Amino acid sequence: MARKIGFYAVVAYAVYGMFFYWYLFYFADTSLPFEYEGSRADPATFLNGRELMLTEEYSKVRNLLFFLSTPLEWLLYTLILVSGLSKAFKRWAEQSAKIKFVQTAIYLFWLSLFAFIGTFPLNFISYSLSKSYHISVQTFNSWIKEELIDFWINYGIMLIIVTVLYWLTNKSRKRWWLYAWLLSVPFTLFMMFLRPVVIDPLYNDFYPLKNKELEAKILSMAEQANIPSEHVFEVNMAQKTTALNAYVTGIGSNSRIVLWDTTLNLLNEKQILFIMAHEMAHYVKKHLYIGIAGYLLLSLAGLYITSKAMNMAIRRWGNDLKISQVNDIASLPLILLIVSILMFASSPLSNVLSRYQEKQADQYAIEMTRDPAAAISTFQELTRAGLSQVNPPLLVKIFRYEHPTMLERISAMEDYEIKQKSKTNMGLSQKPKGQTP
């Protein structure tokens, strides 16, 4: 039975991959609705023929890699279970140490290493793709260094989580999921507080914005938005990518306004101020805290479902998966498999909420800056720099897009511009005759 499960898992992954290849390369329609042709949302009006071709090529392959990556994790965890590797990792850990925590650390290292090696080819293809289309300018040595940093940071965080999780399963077989969730609340907040000052600097250098005149204007906007920031931070991304980005990160006293240096190099002042107004909107409208609350609610439901799914899977396929009970450390790949599936399945909902928040942020930014021309040109530059599709396929938007499409964002700015002109014209028409405007 174990061999059948492994065989069916491989076949299912192959069929899934072929479906998305067919969908993205032959079925999906990314052409613009006729009513938008010739508008400023039409990529033909701001991209040349070569850029249009590269955008379609790059987007199709990048989207295919996205849809292949997460199910590859599911396949790896399934094969680790049915092949007996998880049991072998446990046995090696028990033979190497007597202390329970050290055994957990050794087991998790072997599992993490196997998963890292299994997903490495797809990650390398993704890196190579970005290099070939000049989205990434990062050297291989720099890229592999970041991959290793990722590995060890994820390993350290997972070691804490897994140690606590299996301690809870030993204490309470029925309610471990609830206690795990209760502990996850302060842990999540702590990690959000820690990330800007401890984790992010491991990848990049952050320093106060060199352009003090621009910094003063951004801080003035931040003051209007009641964002507690004394500096705007610049991060050196130009040595890695040509893409553009900016964000407000952290919580409480660790809040930071951050600009990629690529954004500073490629956009003008008005465009940068629009982007910063957008990012500040997330702070003003408490999107970060709403996102944390939503994540915690989803994680509560997810842990409950994981608990039920674990019990059912062990009852039905425990022998085939080489798992005897929930509190067996060898069951960790099954937990990771279920959690990953649930996260993927819930991504359309979380993306809908995220797109709504991003739409709110765009609206806030345009009302603050009142410069639709700068907003539209910003979105056009973001499209060009990232080789992004203006009107992506439906499944790509549902599962991948946390922001509205560029078609939606640019069209919204055009609508705002029309309304403003209409108000201005109406105001002029209502002035008494003979009065100069």
Vertex 334 angle, CA 333 and 338, to 5°: 115
CA distance 364 to 307: 41
Per-residue CA distances from 75 to 9, 13, 155, 272, 359 (Å): 6, 7, 20, 43, 36
CA distance 200 to 195: 6
Phi then psi for residue 136, to 5 deg, are: -105, 135
CA distance 171 to 169: 5
Return binding residues.
278, 282, 358
Beta-strand relationship, 256-260 and 232-235: parallel
Place of tokens 């952050």: 206
Q: Hey, what amino acid is at 305?
A: I
Per the CB < 8 A criterion, the answer to whether 286 and 365 are in contact is no
Catalytic site positions:
279, 362
Phi then psi for residue 257, to 5 deg, are: -100, 125
Return binding residues for Zn(2+).
278, 282, 358
Strand arrangement, sheet containing 256-260: 206-208, 232-235, 256-260, 246-249
